[in-house]
Structure 1
Amino acid sequence: MHRTRVRTLVALAAAVAVVGALLLRLLESRRVYLPAAAWVEIFAVVLLAGLVVGAGWSVRAYLRGDKPDLDPLRAARTFAMAKAAAYTGALLAGRYVAHVLVMLPELEVEARRDQAVVSGVAALAAVGLSAAGVLVEKFCQIPPPEDDDGEAEPLPS
């Protein structure tokens, strides 16, 4: 599996934000109001980011030689979890940014301003989840094998 590109995550978040903002504006024009982010969502996203980094830290310790007993299947699962966290963070960031974009014209209304602030903080937490996923993917990167001369062999494409 290849590592996730940050450019892909940014494009995904931007696409979700634009499409989400358009859909939210359409719904609100028909007097359908979807709830904005809640503080418990922010807590859950931050907790998830911490769990991803925690799982990745053990793989990092193994690759550095600090932890000699690690199941290779666990390392592969950690990489897959990190990739999922990176994409989930990008999707959530787009969703929360869409809420902020919809509420920008009405920031003088206190309730809308509060919703925009919570959604903005949630977007930052989602970016943190995505960053944690990308970081843990890097933790799971195996160094290239060395040949008999002690020089690293290039990885096959």
Structure 2
Amino acid sequence: MQRTRWTALLGAAVGTGLLAWFVVRGVEGRGGTMPEVPWLVAVLEAVLAALVLGQAWGVRQYVRGKRPGLSGLRAARTLVLAKAAAWSGSLLLGWYGGQAARALAEVELGTNAARAASAGGAAGGALLLVVAGLLGEWFCRVPPQDDDEDHGPGARAVPEPPPVAP
């Protein structure tokens, strides 16, 4: 599995941010207002980031040989979780960042300051989720092994295939 490129995440965040800007602008152009983002969103994103880092830290200990009882399947699932956290955090960063930017563009309106602050807080939580996902992927990487060295915990040597008779 390839590591997630931060440039791809940045592109996704910027694209989603532009989409959010135009969605909010369209809603406001029709006389509506976007609801204020609950502060609980930022808290939940931070908790998810901590959970991803906690799971990835266990895999890091496994790779270093300090936690031999960890399942290889759990390590693979943690890697997928970290990748999903990075991508979903990137999309959420764009969505909430776009809302915050649009609210800041017209902050002179009474409710836009509160909307900008809550959406900015949610964008900050999403950024934590992106960082946790990228760190989690880094924690789950396995160093390359030489053929003559001992394979770490959970690793198996691949047997040679039997010779084929002509």
Fold match (TM-score > 0.5): yes
Alignment-derived partner of residue 68 in structure 1:
68
Match of residue 36 from structure 1: 36
After superposition, where does 1:69-108 map in structure 2 within 5 Å?
69-108=69-108
Q: RMSD in angstroms over aligned alpha carbons?
A: 1.4
The CA deviation string for residues 114-153 of structure 1, in whole angstroms up to 9 with x for no partner, is: 1101111211110110110010001110111112279xxx
Deviation at residue 38 of structure 1 after TM alignment? 1.0
Cα distance in 2 between the residues matched to 1:12 and 1:55: 25
The aligned counterpart of 1:112 is: 112
Gaps of 5+ in 1: 151-157
With normalisation by structure 2, the TM-score equals 0.86
Could you say which residue in structure 1 is the equivalent of 2:125?
A: 125
Query: 2 CA distance for matches of 1:125 and 1:16?
Result: 16
Report if aligned partners of 1:36, 1:99 keep a CA contact under 8 Å in 2: no
- From the two aligned structures, give the one with the greater helix fraction: 1
Q: What is the aligned partner in structure 2 of residue 19 from structure 1?
A: 19
Gaps of 5+ in 2: 151-166
Q: Output the CA distance in 1 between the equivalents of 2:54 and 2:47.
A: 10
- The alignment of Structure 1 onto Structure 2 pairs a total of residues equal to 150
Rg (Cα) greater in structure:
2
Write the distance in 1 (CA, Å) between the matches of 2:133 and 2:87: 8
Query: Taking every aligned residue pair, what percent have the same amino acid on both sides?
Result: 39
Bigger CA drift: 31-40 or 134-143?
31-40
Q: Counterpart of 1:9?
A: 9
1:41-100 CA-to-partner distances (Å, cap 9, x unmatched) read 111101100110010010011111111111000000000000000001000000111111
